[in-house]
Amino acid sequence: MEIVSGAVSLGLLWAVMTIGVFISYRILDIADLTVEGSIAMGAAIAARVIAAGGNPYIATLLALLGGMAAGLCTGLLQTRLKIPALLSGILVMIALWSVNLRIMGKSNISLLRMETIYTAFENMGLNGTASITVLGLLCVFLLISVLYWFFGTEVGSAIRATGSNPHMARAQGINTDTMTCLGLLISNGLVAASGALIAQSQSYADVQMGTGAIVIGLASVIIGEVLFRGKNFYTRLISLVLGAVTYRMIIALVLKLGMPANDLKLFTAVTVAVALSLPALLQRFRQNQKSHGRVE
């Protein structure tokens, strides 16, 4: 039971990052590798502020703003300097490694026995896991509500149109460069906020905690889309949360069954590869079935 509750609580925090990845990957149609640096940046900013005696809520807000700045840099490289999207993300990701080390002053910061964003819930009598779960649910509910409203506005619809069909969007008078920057700004802001929440939940921040984050995000997005198909935008956002929680439960299960922790990245990569190739494999299978039917 502890494994399940721990997986759910951690999954809710990673769900914030999953929604950020969804915005760049599905809405903007960009595989943004900035995520690997911005999640660590959020953790670094929050940890540095809290370790210095700062307010954890302000620390989390600063982490959000730091991630937004990173996303904006990626967007400007793409739109102003015309650097390809994938390469722009890689460049910012590499730069953020040094930036994060500068922010922390060392490779990791411990937050043990320091006040975090979860302390208020712990003071109400909740244990650590319950505090993380309650705050995670509140954050996810608020985030889904705000994003559902935002992407229904004129600006939000313009971002969606930019990702769906940029040529048509430009024909409608939409500044696609601005919308791309805004989308990446929101995406990486959420990813960094997730990093801040995760760092406070595990009581430390590490410069390497972003390694493989994009694969984890994609795995959660795909699991959510395959297992919990959303019929509209609101239910699609909910499916992302369920996908992130399900992914964490799968990881907890395979660890319980004895898989070495060092193999988790390989397991995740294979899972994502299979999930991404599944539509093409199913289509090929159906075509083979039809061709065999004609021959008979």
**DSSP letter string over the chain?**
-HHHHHHHHHHHHHHHHHHHHHIIIIIS----TTHHHHHHHHHHHHHHHHHTT--HHHHHHHHHHHHHHHHHHHHHHHHTS---HHHHHHHHHHHHHHHHHHHHSSSEEE-TTS--TTHHHHHTT--HHHHHHHHHHHHHHHHHHHHHHHTTSHHHHHHHHHHH-HHHHHHTT--HHHHHHHHHHHHHHHHHHHHHHHHHHHTEEETTTTTTHHHHHHHHHHHHHHHS--SSHHHHHHHHHHHHHHHHHHHHHHHHTT--GGGHHHHHHHHHHHHHHHHHHHHHHHHHHHHHHHH-
Q: Which two tokens stand for residue 100?
A: 């994060």
Q: Tell me the one-letter amino acid at 22.
A: F
Enumerate the domain spans of the chain: 2-258, 265-296
pLDDT of amino acid 21? 94
Q: Which two tokens stand for residue 8?
A: 């759910």
**106 CB-near residues (< 8 Å, 6+ apart):** none
Compute the distance between CA of residue 154 and CA of residue 31 in angstroms, rounded to an integer. 24
Q: What is the CATH number of domain 2-258?
A: 1.10.3470
The answer to whether the beta carbons of residues 219 and 268 sit under 8 Å apart is yes
**71 CB-near residues (< 8 Å, 6+ apart):** 32, 34, 38, 181, 184, 185, 186, 187, 188, 189
**Predicted structure pTM score:** 0.90
pLDDT of amino acid 59? 95
Q: Nearest to residue 248, comparing CAs of 75, 83, 129, 122? A: 129
pLDDT of amino acid 97? 94
Q: Which residues pair with 204 in a beta bridge?
A: 110
Per-position pLDDT tens, the chain of length 296? 677 788 889 999 999 999 999 999 999 999 899 999 999 999 999 999 999 999 999 999 999 999 999 999 999 999 999 999 999 999 999 999 999 999 999 989 998 889 999 988 888 888 888 899 999 999 999 999 999 999 999 999 999 999 999 999 999 999 999 999 999 999 999 999 999 999 999 999 999 888 888 888 988 898 888 888 778 889 999 999 999 999 888 888 888 888 887 888 888 888 778 877 877 777 888 888 777 665 55
pLDDT of amino acid 154? 94
The answer to whether the beta carbons of residues 248 and 10 sit under 8 Å apart is yes
pLDDT of amino acid 256? 83
Counted residue by residue, the chain has a size of 296
* Other Cβ atoms within 10 Å of 64 Cβ, number: 22
Compute the distance between CA of residue 151 and CA of residue 34 in angstroms, rounded to an integer. 22
> Cα torsion at 13, 18, 20, 26 (round to 10°)?
-170
Q: Tell me the one-letter amino acid at 61.
A: L
pLDDT of amino acid 1? 65
* β-pair type (204-206, 108-110): antiparallel
pLDDT of amino acid 296? 54
